[in-house]
């Protein structure tokens, strides 16, 4: 099967590696608006060739749109205009409501499948693409009832081959849940990095003391604004809601410190420990 991947960054490039290695794709065509990224992607052999959008789509059984989410709402309708009734188009974006609205009334909506593989790192661009990024993680397929059964089947087969597990969400619900389990983590990390950078001027000494715990909570602060600002823009309302709750929780800890109420502080930590049920 020939697959076009539009955007050969962290997600698109890693999909290219996995789908080529396991033989699911016989040929991978890259579409890259950025000439520098196109050169990097070819240097790493992420694609067999880089072609203009129309040319790439015409030759492909499956088209994967892996751009930042602001570009998605423009590129997805554009790609759907170019395909026939056998081709399948998917996105791999972190937000879904705006995209699903953008393709809702498209005559080829049935050939589109909205997906979100829940995997990533704090790095971006073709140089960030890695093997095994998706291994045994979940991919979300949103509103599969709006897509042709054969299209959903092909896409599930592709994700199972990586190998990922599959779950289904309604688009708006997806955006609420990812605000909790992904988007707020990034804001928390950005804010933590700014806190430390604002207060500590002696960078060499921070480096010495920064333990693995600090590295773990602040790692996501290295994430690209080009990826994340469009996500926060599209999922603003849900993110605001979770961010308010997060500030409230921090304020509770603050208030307990001020009052020196370490008994309640202890109980709150015990409650927080319940997260063990959710993450291994």
- Nearest approach, Cβ of residue 141 and a copy of itself (Å): 12
CB neighbours (10 Å) of residue 184?
Answer: 18
- Nearer to a copy of itself by Cβ, of 22 and 214: the residue is 214
HEC readout, 172-184: HHHHHHHHHHHHH
Alpha carbon distance 30, 36 (integer Å): 13
Residues 6+ apart with CB under 8 A from 205: none
Part of the chain binding a copy of itself (CB under 8 A), chosen from 19-27, 98-106, 150-158, 262-270: 262-270
- Nearest approach, Cβ of residue 169 and a copy of itself (Å): 8
- Nearer to a copy of itself by Cβ, of 60 and 227: the residue is 227
Contacts 24+ apart (CB under 8 A), 240-245: 241/179, 242/179, 242/180, 242/183, 242/184, 243/184, 243/187
Residues 172-231 that bind a copy of itself (CB under 8 A): 177-178, 180-182, 184-200, 203, 205-225, 228-229
- The only residue of 122, 127, 148, 153 in contact with a copy of itself, by rule CB under 8 A: 122
Contacts 24+ apart (CB under 8 A), 73-81: 73/98, 73/99, 73/101, 73/102, 74/102, 75/6, 76/102, 76/103, 76/112, 77/102, 77/103, 77/106, 78/53, 79/6, 79/53, 80/106, 80/107, 80/108, 80/109, 80/111, 80/112, 81/108
- The only residue of 54, 86, 167, 170 in contact with a copy of itself, by rule CB under 8 A: 167
- Nearest approach, Cβ of residue 7 and a copy of itself (Å): 19
- The only residue of 106, 109, 138, 154 in contact with a copy of itself, by rule CB under 8 A: 138
- Nearer to a copy of itself by Cβ, of 161 and 224: the residue is 224
5 SS3 class:
strand
- The only residue of 42, 137, 148, 161 in contact with a copy of itself, by rule CB under 8 A: 137
- Nearest approach, Cβ of residue 84 and a copy of itself (Å): 34
Residues 76-105 that bind a copy of itself (CB under 8 A): none
Residues in the chain: 280
Residues 227-256 that bind a copy of itself (CB under 8 A): 228-229, 232-233, 236, 239-240, 242-247, 249-254
Q: Does 260 bind a copy of itself (CB under 8 A)?
A: yes
- Nearest approach, Cβ of residue 89 and a copy of itself (Å): 23
Residues 15-74 that bind a copy of itself (CB under 8 A): none
CB neighbours (10 Å) of residue 200?
Answer: 11
């Amino acid at each position: 099967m020939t697959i076009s991947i539009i955007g050969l960054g962290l997600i698109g490039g890693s999909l290219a590696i996995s789908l080529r290695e396991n033989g699911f794709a016989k040929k991978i065509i890259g579409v890259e608006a950025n000439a520098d990224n196109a050169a990097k992607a070819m240097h790493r052999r992420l694609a067999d060739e880089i072609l203009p959008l129309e040319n790439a789509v015409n030759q492909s059984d499956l088209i994967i749109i892996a751009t930042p989410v602001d570009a998605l709402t423009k590129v997805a309708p554009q790609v759907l205009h170019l395909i026939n009734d056998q081709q399948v188009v998917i996105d791999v974006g972190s937000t879904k409501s705006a995209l699903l609205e953008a393709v809702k009334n498209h005559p080829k909506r049935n050939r589109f499948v909205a997906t979100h593989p829940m995997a990533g790192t704090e790095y971006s661009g073709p140089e960030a693409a890695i093997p095994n990024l998706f291994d045994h993680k979940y991919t979300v397929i949103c509103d599969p009832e709006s897509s042709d059964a054969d299209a959903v089947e092909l896409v599930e087969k592709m994700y199972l081959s990586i190998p990922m597990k599959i779950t289904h969400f309604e688009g708006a619900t997806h955006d609420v849940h990812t605000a909790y389990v992904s988007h707020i983590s990034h804001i928390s990390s950005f804010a933590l990095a700014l806190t430390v950078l604002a207060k500590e001027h002696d960078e060499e000494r921070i480096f010495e003391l920064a333990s693995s715990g600090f590295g773990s909570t602040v790692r996501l602060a290295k994430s690209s604004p080009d990826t994340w600002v469009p996500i926060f823009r599209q999922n603003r309302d849900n993110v605001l809601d979770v961010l308010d709750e997060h500030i409230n929780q921090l304020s509770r800890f603050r208030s307990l410190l001020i009052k020196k109420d370490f008994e309640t502080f202890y109980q709150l930590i015990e409650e927080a420990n319940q997260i063990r049920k959710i993450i291994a």
